Amino acid sequence: MSWFRVDDGMLDHPKWKRAIRSGGDAVVHLWLALGTWCSRHLTDGMVPADMLGEIAGPRGKRTKERALRALLDERLLVSHIDGGVLLHDYLDYNPSRADVLAERERWARSKRKQRD
């Protein structure tokens, strides 16, 4: 299991205040859904275009589109060339895929050694 790290002061940041003002509370819901999806699937913060509509988030297509636009406008998400998005600064706060896999291997090796 991996964890998605969230700064406890994020909602006080001007970017978040502006994004919520323009996209509503759905902005937070969508961003958390995208972030937890990236963490679970070890994508280093990248959400491919074909997954944007599949990831759970706010209900209603228009609500989700408005929230996505607000996140992009405030650069909390960055458009990717393939049509997907990248969570801004994801790897500054969350471990990379390589780091998670290495830690899992270290843990498994430790458990195997402990059992022997």
**pLDDT digit string, tens, across residues 37-62:** 999 999 999 999 999 989 988 999 99
Are the beta carbons of 19 and 76 closer than 8 angstroms?
yes
Q: pTM of the predicted model, to two decimals? A: 0.89
What's residue 111's pLDDT?
A: 83
Q: What is the mean pLDDT of residues 16-45?
A: 97
Q: Which residues pair with 49 in a beta bridge?
A: none
What's residue 84's pLDDT?
A: 95
17 band by pLDDT with thresholds 50, 70 and 90: very high
Please, what sign has the CA dihedral across residues 20, 35, 65, 55? Answer: negative
Q: How far apart are CA 19 and CA 76, in angstroms?
A: 9
Average pLDDT over all residues of the chain: 93
115 band by pLDDT with thresholds 50, 70 and 90: confident
Q: How far apart are CA 38 and CA 44, in angstroms?
A: 7
3-state DSSP assignment of residue 26 = helix
